[in-house]
Structure 1
Amino acid sequence: MDSLFEKIYHTRQQGQDMVLVTAIEKEGEGPVEVGKKMLVYEDGTSFGTVGGGALELFAQKKAQELFKTRRPVTEKYVLEQGKVVENAKTLPMICGGSVTFFYDFIGVKNHVHLFGAGHVGQALANVLKPLNFHITVIDDRPVILETFAHADHKVLGPFIEHIDKGGVKPGHYVVVCTPSHRYDYHVLNRLLESKIDVGYMGMLCSPSKLKDYLAKTRDTFGQDINLSGFYSPIGLDIGGGSPEEIAISIAAELLAVHHGRTTIRHMRELLDADDRYW
């Protein structure tokens, strides 16, 4: 059987989020030992234990809340029904002691979903793979998907089905480069309908196609639809139009968004005025 830390490693390799629950303090009686750990997954299943029984069941439910907030939290529990302690939650137990749990959300920080396994998608995967991105590629063409390299996870089927099944999580990055603008619209509209707070949403298209998409989107969702996290035409203006050059421009934009860069400059422009040589 895997150890808990091996389980964490394998879960991250699969691109899945998890919550690590650790007992960090105990006072008086109780079913838990300090240092005990438990992994909780989004579907409610768990690995390891922090004491079992009602306390562990409560911890599992609390851990599941972190899949929405994606923030660590520390909570103290009094294990005696009716007893009130400041800054602690009282559980319906009779042990009489107290325990403090630390809940740590462990997510795949750089998870990118490539909707479309064509030339640009493949070139982008080649660029992103060494940059510690977990890459999921979605396509409905089995032959194209089978030959796709550098994907951590391949999804064969309708594009929007991946969204409907919960494949895209808050904070994930999305690149839309399907073989049809109709599919592009379907994917983007489904993401807007789902209200998933993705970290980046980009679409490969021309300015004229973008204009058409924006008109349709505002007709559907209203003129005040917030598209501040939408990037299209996708990528930075570095010149070049080959799939490989487009991929580099998209990867550069993804990294800029990831690192919170709103203004892109040449590094030499950061030199002090006295040090500028041009």
Structure 2
Amino acid sequence: MNCFQQLAHALDIGPAVLATVTSITGSVPREVGARLVVDANGQAFNTVGGGAGEAKVLRQAQDVLKTGEKQFVEIDLSGAPQRQTQGICGGHMRVWLERWQGEAAKSLVDEILRQLQQGQAVTLVTPLDGANAPYLSEDAVEVDAAIAFVQTLQPPPMLLIVGAGHVGLQLAKVAHLIGFQVVVQDDRPEWANADLYPQASQILAEPIDNAITTLATHQNLYAALVTRGYTYDLEALQHLLQRTIPCQYIGMIGSEKRVRQVYGAIAQTDIPREKLATIYGPIGLDIGALTPEEIAVSIGAELIMVQRGGTGRSLSLNA
């Protein structure tokens, strides 16, 4: 969503170029769908990998800004001898450059942002014929990759922080830093407020059942239970585990004893036992964290692990 917000700002200035990674092979610094925006002043936002490869994209983007001629940029990261390479990662990237301009482009970006901000996925189709403009499709479509680049844009992950105490305060900072929309819930307005949580897009100083109802349709919801007590954990879990759209992640702070107590109480309800297996409790990765700041980093690392499909292992063990 950040990229399209930057594109919206750029279009307020004038024409802008959107660079999109449409295909990759081998080891490369960014994934398919990574994007970069270049505004009418030549200023760039976001990244398609940095280094000489991105420099090549930026040079070509200046031509696209002037001529409007859509084009591919090939980035060679193979490091092969006697070839003009842009890095030594070992792979190749193909990047599509297209100039966006005018009211139609602004309307398209506004609609993309509207749907993403409502927590809904949106499918963007980018024709690669050099003639037709990007458009939205109501359904995911299968198109020849040589004809169009199709990507279903997911809403940004939203982290619901249940409990506005010391850990919640630090976790909001970490979550915002790693790209999560932050929502804070606590029934104490003196704890849950915008002064303490400037990173939060929403402050829900209300009971947990009301808060979860507010977020009922969000498709990419993560929840961190960092409450002040067992009963608050239990109430939050009862509502979170019964969402029509399952949470991507539910983590619960506390000792192993506290976690077992909550599990035992949940087992007495009509919630299927297998749903307990989806809870990360105690929350976070084992890095020896003690302070609220360290615990927040531990939780943030686990959020990234779940979102990106990591293992949590030290990278040095893979060397």
TM-score by length of structure 1 reads 0.63
Counterpart contact for 1:169–1:198, Cα < 8 Å = no
For residue 284 of structure 2, give the secondary structure of its aligned residue in structure 1: coil
Question: Could you report, residue by residue, the CA deviation over 1:235-258 in whole angstroms, capped at 9, with x for unpaired residues?
Answer: 111113211011011011111111
The residue that corresponds to 2:91 in the other structure is: none
How far 1:178 moved relative to its partner?
A: 2.4
Alpha carbons of 1:145 and 1:242: their partners in 2 closer, same or farther (altered >3 Å)?
same
- Output the CA distance in 1 between the equivalents of 2:124 and 2:317: 46
Identity within the alignment, %: 28
Query: Structure 2 stretches of 5 or more lacking a match?
Result: 1-102, 144-148
2:258 pairs with 1:209: yes
Counterpart contact for 2:284–2:302, Cα < 8 Å = yes
Question: Could you report, residue by residue, the CA deviation over 1:151-193 in whole angstroms, capped at 9, with x for unpaired residues?
Answer: 1222231112122234463432111122332122111111222
The residue that corresponds to 1:265 in the other structure is: 313
How far 1:214 moved relative to its partner?
A: 0.9
The residue that corresponds to 1:184 in the other structure is: 233
The residue that corresponds to 1:111 in the other structure is: 158
**Paired residues, number:** 208
Alpha carbons of 1:168 and 1:189: their partners in 2 closer, same or farther (altered >3 Å)?
farther
For residue 298 of structure 2, give the secondary structure of its aligned residue in structure 1: helix
Which of 154, 157, 170 lines up with 1:123 in the alignment?
Answer: 170
- Output the CA distance in 2 between the equivalents of 1:223 and 1:134: 29
Deviates more, 1:6-15 or 1:107-116: 6-15
For residue 114 of structure 1, give the secondary structure of its aligned residue in structure 2: strand
For residue 277 of structure 2, give the secondary structure of its aligned residue in structure 1: coil
The residue that corresponds to 2:141 in the other structure is: 73
Alpha carbons of 1:13 and 1:117: their partners in 2 closer, same or farther (altered >3 Å)?
farther
Deviates more, 1:209-218 or 1:15-24: 15-24
Counterpart contact for 1:122–1:149, Cα < 8 Å = no
Counterpart contact for 1:170–1:196, Cα < 8 Å = yes
The aligned runs of 1:10-25 (5 Å cut-off) are 10-11=113-114, 14=117, 16-20=119-123
- Output the CA distance in 2 between the equivalents of 1:187 and 1:158: 9
For residue 153 of structure 1, give the secondary structure of its aligned residue in structure 2: strand
For residue 184 of structure 2, give the secondary structure of its aligned residue in structure 1: strand
Query: Structure 1 stretches of 5 or more lacking a match?
Result: 25-33, 39-58, 67-71, 76-101, 272-278
- Output the CA distance in 2 between the equivalents of 1:266 and 1:21: 36
2:300 pairs with 1:236: no
2:213 pairs with 1:145: no
Counterpart contact for 2:115–2:122, Cα < 8 Å = no
The residue that corresponds to 2:224 in the other structure is: 175
Question: Could you report, residue by residue, the CA deviation over 1:40-79 in whole angstroms, capped at 9, with x for unpaired residues?
Answer: xxxxxxxxxxxxxxxxxxx8xxx4xx6xxxxx2359xxxx
For residue 250 of structure 2, give the secondary structure of its aligned residue in structure 1: strand
For residue 194 of structure 1, give the secondary structure of its aligned residue in structure 2: coil
- Of structures 1 and 2, the larger Rg is shown by 1
- Output the CA distance in 2 between the equivalents of 1:178 and 1:153: 18
Structure 1 letter corresponding to 2:120: D
2:179 pairs with 1:132: yes
- Output the CA distance in 2 between the equivalents of 1:223 and 1:3: 46
- Output the CA distance in 1 between the equivalents of 2:307 and 2:134: 34
Structure 2 letter corresponding to 1:17: Q
Counterpart contact for 2:157–2:179, Cα < 8 Å = yes
Alpha carbons of 1:223 and 1:156: their partners in 2 closer, same or farther (altered >3 Å)?
closer
- Output the CA distance in 2 between the equivalents of 1:15 and 1:135: 14
The residue that corresponds to 2:107 in the other structure is: 4
TM-score by length of structure 2 reads 0.56
Counterpart contact for 1:199–1:229, Cα < 8 Å = no
- Output the CA distance in 1 between the equivalents of 2:313 and 2:123: 39
